[in-house]
Structure 1
């Protein structure tokens, strides 16, 4: 174990924790990710720092909270990462797929980048041609996209669900998986290797080839969300505004419904889970190639996602909220050479960006003292480890935050969650022990005012400590 391990970081986009069979969702067909979980360590309480792609990824790849990076919404510029430290230490650093740096093609510490961005790229970087765009064009194919979906008579009824009708290998997730496999199989073996593979799915449009969707369309036991009128009426006004906004504006080819039918919900979940199964298949193929080329003789393999997805729960679609279905992500870390014992779970609170110093730690690199992320190596190795007492999440106004709220901040302990909406006297407070689905908002309940004040104090102290600890980082950025 004296050498440095190869490090493989596989990330999906917008994947819920409960979309994987081995994590307690038996409806999903995910045999390859299940196998990783059975061999590795599942972090069952890993939470993001921002409920949208760009700020979450900027936080993960820098080791700082969004308010420290200054990246708090999609479209904001970021490009410097701790991958530079891996490159400087002798790792061959390769990215295939989505990183969502802004600009998309910054090197960000990688020797090689094969960029594949959002499936439905409509706003920032709309005319940037990534590897997938080039491959489609080379075959004379026109990508399925919003302009063409809008021409379909049932566009508004589909809730972002479509069948991929072009060649199957040209689906974005199949393309990324195949390209990563191609790189592994053709590039002269190099060690140590840091390979980041970013699948664009199951982010919408929910568009896998039909064969992946069929198994889920046939199931009559999927536990589809059925929010009550009482819950919908009790939503924070920002989330009520978001519901209406998502009906009127088709982000990522999704036109939402305030009252979707059961058939619509079945189709939504079938397409989402079908996309997960497609990704799982490609993960299995990639791992097989890595093994064949010798990379798995000593490797740390990580599978995770940048945030989750509501899929109709709480009457919402997509992210941009701070329910656990958005903030809690599937995360597994597997040592192929027995650096730590597998087949275990770590149930204490941690944050997605804690993976950064963990990766540096295993690469023999001391993370900067100013990092707000903390290495999970002690937890993975079964040594003394103190879980986080609280995890935090923040989001500035974004394309789908249509109300008067400029900024959301969330704090969560093992039992309690509070969400603060800047500019609003209302907020959210949930007792996760007695209300794990986060349906009953206790913000205005007189019996819980002390608890609310306690969590607001935690939030205040966290921000003060964060600003003090990172003062030199922020000064150097000027």
Structure 2
């Protein structure tokens, strides 16, 4: 990355960047979702600044994270699908400017143990790593081994008679303290307790959940199964009939090949779907509890005087919406994620900003907070003016892109442009696509792609995509080689 330029500002804050994996935007009670119990995230929202329209730049883990930690779109980083290599980040600029940089939990770099700019990394990867570095032992594997235990995983779940009905939902039967999300939270607390006063501190905490398998403790699983307000999937024959064929191919693929301990059963019942969602939401509450304990550890160890806490996720999860499993699509339930910035001593809290922002905008925001200059051609935009209630120009569109991979087998490349009202999804080399009027159809059930009444909007948005791609390639022409 570029060399860091430290600001002359006398005080630079500690910064905690908490990233969950695959958490939908509708999973925080304070944001209006009564089926959730999230008192600690509610506190961050009530005392901090929420961005209600934060959208990712790629609908799968690796390209989304590579984009977030560089500030460039996936077509610039060259990381457009899972399994691709990436390790260069703006964290190295923070480190060069004097920050102590620590990662606890998931970053999802390839290779797993790449330095990625950090002074210290305590890596925890996916819960289920079938055929993905199976002989690689992360900190969580080692902790389980030290207790004479082997983690719950696909090879064992497959032995269950009801594997096809579970849809990735399984109780965590091992000790609660060794659940991946509890373990990551406890490890972060351990670091703060045993190495205090590392100031200024940048700590990235990566929770593996609620990414599948959806595996809460039995007590929380029971709690959420007993709730009578668990929202069920938004799905219909009309919705599916209007979808591009690559999504039907994905449905069929997911019913034949299990990914992340999910075999997507075409004969699933409403009760199967209800359990999947209940366990997912219960897993979010487990993370909420860990966030609360991390906040207490910050206070105990002298980090709260000037600390910025940022909470977000790398993408969402369909959870059966539109008849689909997981991500790899451009529906809002995948592309829209929670984003909260908490720093009562710096920013007026209790606010919600409804402008369109992109997840990778956190990169220049964090660099701004640290007094470190961003590259001139960085495509992400700092959110600091919005946080400090200064004048700024909001994004008019957000963009998202994904190349075909081992899961998304029916399309070579999909690209999304989304405005406040309109969304278009373009498929490379294909006459199919998606067009949604989000004002009339917020659940994205009615695809207007083939409706001649809306040809003008379709043409305008396709032109917008073309102009964005051309401008992006021109702007980053001297920088792209750094990611190769």
TM interval, short-chain normalised: over 0.9
Deviation at 1:435, TM superposition (A): 0.2
CA contact (8 A) 2:185 2:291 kept: yes
- Alpha-carbon distance between aligned partners in 2 of 1:176 and 1:459, rounded to the nearest angstrom: 39
Residue 419 in structure 1 maps to residue 425 in structure 2 = yes
Provide the residue aligned with 1:449 in structure 2.
455
Query: Cα distance, 1:233 vs. partner?
Result: 2.0
- Matched with 1:33 is 41
Deviations 1:416-459 (A, max 9, x none): 00001112101000000000000000000000001000000000
Q: Deviations over 1:73-119 (max 9, x none)?
A: 11000001000000000000000000000001011110000000000
The equivalent of 1:324 in structure 2 is 332
Aligned partners of 1:297 and 1:336 also within 8 Å: no
Shift of residue 226 of structure 1? 4.5
TM-score normalised by the chain length of structure 1: 0.98
Distance 2:296 2:196 in 1: 17
Separation (CA, whole Å) in 1 of partners of 2:34 and 2:228: 13
- Residues 234-272 of structure 1 deviation map (CA, whole Å, 9 limit, x = unaligned): 221000111111111100000112242111111011100
Aligned to 1:236: 244
Q: Paired residue for 1:364, among 350, 359, 371?
A: 371
Give the counterpart of 1:387 among 394, 408, 417. Answer: 394
CA distance in 2, matches of 1:242, 1:188: 48
Aligned counterpart in structure 1 of residue 219 of structure 2, from 211, 214, 224: 211
Map Cα deviations across residues 42-90 of structure 1 (whole Å, 9 max, x no partner). 0011100000000000000000000000000110000010000000000
Find the partner of 1:130 among 126, 135, 138: 138
- Write the deviation string for residues 316-352 of structure 1: whole angstroms up to 9, x where unpaired: 0100000000000000001142x12111011100100
Q: Indicate yes or no: 2:348 matched with 1:341.
A: yes
Distance change (3 Å), C-alpha of 1:477 and 1:214: closer
The corresponding residue for 1:49 is 57
Query: Who is 2:441 aligned against?
Result: 435
Whether contact under 8 Å (2:58, 2:74) holds in the other structure is yes
- The Cα of 1:392 is off from its aligned counterpart by 0.2
RMSD after superposition:
1.0
SS of 1:471's equivalent?
coil
TM-score, reference length from structure 2: 0.97
2:90 to 77, 82, 92: 82
CA distance in 1, matches of 2:22, 2:406: 16
Distance 1:411 1:127, change over 3 A: same
How far residue 161 of structure 1 moved from its aligned partner, in angstroms, is 0.6
Question: Aligned partners of 1:443 and 1:204: how far apart in 2?
Answer: 32
Match of 1:195 in 2: 203
Structure 1 Cα separation of the partners of residues 151 and 419 of structure 2: 43
Q: 2:383 aligns with which of 376, 384, 408?
A: 376
2:472 to 446, 466, 473: 466
Instruction: Decide which moves more: 87-96 or 261-270.
Output: 261-270
For the 8 Å contact 2:167–2:264, the answer to whether it is kept is yes
How far apart are the structure 1 equivalents of 2:111 and 2:478?
25
Alignment of 1:245-394 (within 5 A): 245-337=253-345, 339-394=346-401
Q: Secondary structure in 2 aligned to 1:430? A: strand
Q: CA deviation digits over 1:7-44, x for unaligned, max 9? A: 00001000000011111111101000000000000001
> Where in structure 1 do 4 or more consecutive aligned residues deviate above 3 Å?
475-478
Taking the aligned partners of 2:236 and 2:358, their CA distance within structure 1 comes to: 31
**How far does residue 229 in structure 1 lie from its aligned partner after superposition?**
1.4
Look up the SS of the partner of 1:240 in the other structure.
Answer: helix
State the 1:224 CA deviation. Answer: 0.5
Q: Secondary structure at the match of 1:462?
A: helix
Aligned residues of 2:88 and 2:483 also touching (Cα < 8 A): no
In the alignment, the residues of structure 2 paired with residue 2 and residue 349 of structure 1 have an alpha-carbon distance, to the nearest angstrom, of 32
For structure 2, the residue ranges without an aligned partner over 5 or more in a row are 1-8
2:30 corresponds to: 22
Residues 13/323 of structure 1: CA separation in 2 closer, same or farther (3 Å cut): same
Partner of 2:6: none
State the distance in 2 between where 1:70 and 1:155 align: 36
